[in-house]
Amino acid sequence: MPETYIITPDYNGKRFLEEYFSSILNQTYNDFKIIFVDNSPHNESLDYITENYSVEISSNKIKIIKNSKNKGFAQANNQGIIESFKDPECKYIICLNNDTAVERKFLEKLISSAHKHPEAGSIQPKMIWGQHPDLLDSAGLEYSRNGLGFNRGAYENPEKYDVEEEILGCCAGACLYKIKALEDVEIDGEYFDEDFFAYYEDFDLALRLRWAGWSSWYCPEAVVWHYKGGTKLPLSEFTVYHNWRNYTWTLFKNLPYSFLLWNFPLIMIAEISQIFLNLARGNYIILKAKKDAYTGLKRVIDKKKRIKRIYPFKEIEKFFILKWRP
């Protein structure tokens, strides 16, 4: 049985699958299985896989989970994680978007970094913007004192981020999680918070891993190209709603009340700016996002009480920055 499981949620992503599978199945490290979780309303992706990778399916190299409806990025990844846990030999989970292609030593370098840093719960590869390979997509997550989350190094020259270093946490579009770390932060059978559905779920997980005492490292030798925005446009109603609802939930769920009070002016500026900027763009869904964010806080606070907290907050806060835009 393999020690590594690659989990890939899919939503209408057939056009990306040829490059995705050809790069994954041509790795120098081969001790893995792929769990492909399809949230699409039709079978185009599944038809493509069964037509082109029947051998891998019959050998269980590729396992397919088909959902009857779109269960979201968070739940789809959880489904893959739970399936992976059935294998007692599994040590690593690699979350990988369907709209990606990876360098041939991608898995080898991630696994090597995981061995090198036994205290790390997650390892972040270098994510390069597929449509613009001269620009970086993510070298990990950055969290601002106003509650805004950013991809570290986004839109910068990829060569600026060639140093292996400790970071706050990992972007779930492409990263490695250790099984023991995920088990350590599980709440109600969930690893990614399924209430988030999509967006900010990786910030939430990164902060919970930090609270539980797990570090995170950036591995620039593991390279992945991400065709950013392949499934959802940045200013779609779906993106605006989930992004800005989950922004608020991440704040109240993971940060101490003393931090929220001390940084209240910055947080309020960020909250109000979101509303007015989106209204100016005609994105009226922002009003529903904020209404649902605050009416749903009771459930968020209930989960806050069950977060494992053994690491001092000052050791988490030292990674925070102050930033307003990428």
Q: What is the mean pLDDT of residues 250-256?
A: 98
Q: Where are the domains of the chain?
A: 4-226, 237-317
Q: Which residue has the tokens 């839109």?
A: 155
Mean pLDDT of the chain: 96
Q: Given a cut of 70, is residue 229 above it in pLDDT?
A: no
Please state the CATH superfamily assignment of the domain spanning residues 4-226 in this structure: Spore Coat Polysaccharide Biosynthesis Protein SpsA; Chain A (3.90.550.10)
Q: Given a cut of 60, is residue 224 above it in pLDDT?
A: yes
pLDDT, tens digit, 9 for 90 and up, residues 160-191: 999 999 999 999 999 999 999 999 999 999 99
pLDDT at position 326 is 78
Q: In the structure encoding, which two tokens stand for residue 40, read together?
A: 């699409």
Q: Given a cut of 60, is residue 298 above it in pLDDT?
A: yes
pLDDT, tens digit, 9 for 90 and up, residues 91-109: 999 999 999 999 999 999 9
Q: What pTM was computed for the model?
A: 0.96
Distance of CA 272 to the CA centre of its chain: 26
